[in-house]
Amino acid sequence: MSDLQCAATLIIARHGAAEYESDRWSDAGGSLTSTGREQSRRLGESLAASGVAAVWTSTRSRAVQTAEIAASGLGRAVTTREGLREFDCGDFAGSPMSQDPFATTYARWLSGELDVRIPGAENGHEVVERMRASCAEIADLHRGETVLVVSHGGIVRLALPVLARLGTVVPAPLANTASVELRIDADDWVVTRWG
């Protein structure tokens, strides 16, 4: 069997609970709360018997912190990838967090309207494509292995159903440090567990 036929298993987790430096929307990373740090520690513990070969993460600080804490318990180094980050704020940067200017666009993305764009930022196709490229790279480097990938709830909930061709199924939002198991081989992307 060729190496490409060997599946890579990606355990894609949402970052831990975070707090933010401002009450305004920003692409800044946020920092884990004490609860988020504890969630991250438990994430690493829960994967101790899984034979995790590597830990990859979004570049946003809340994800990096989650990955570093989980990885320390697994004895693994952490590698960052920009493509795993959450979708950007675009023109909504600086608007109050008390309002959710992304809700309408995100709902349209989840219903399949990926051509819709956040003003000044990406459309749904672009968000899905960068997640696809990052996951494909990770899978190619880890055929036959299990890896932990720390990302963000919005991009995971949008991209993985599209990439794994789940049809019209819109999975539930992920709680902090909840994960999705994704198997990738040369033929298919299959979600084997959600949350």
Percent of the chain with pLDDT over 70: 97
Ordered per-residue pLDDT tens for the chain, 195 residues: 445 569 999 999 999 999 998 898 998 879 999 999 999 999 999 999 999 999 999 999 999 999 999 999 999 999 999 999 999 999 999 999 988 999 999 999 999 999 999 999 999 999 999 999 999 999 999 999 999 999 999 999 999 999 998 877 789 999 999 999 999 998 899 999 998
Q: What is the pLDDT of residue 151?
A: 98
Q: What is the pLDDT of residue 80?
A: 98
Q: What is the pLDDT of residue 4?
A: 55
Distance CA 10, CA 52 (A): 9
Q: What is the pLDDT of residue 146?
A: 98
In this prediction the pTM is 0.94
- Domains assigned to the chain: 3-93+109-194 (3.40.50.1240)
Q: What is the pLDDT of residue 3?
A: 58
Q: Which two tokens stand for residue 135?
A: 């996951």
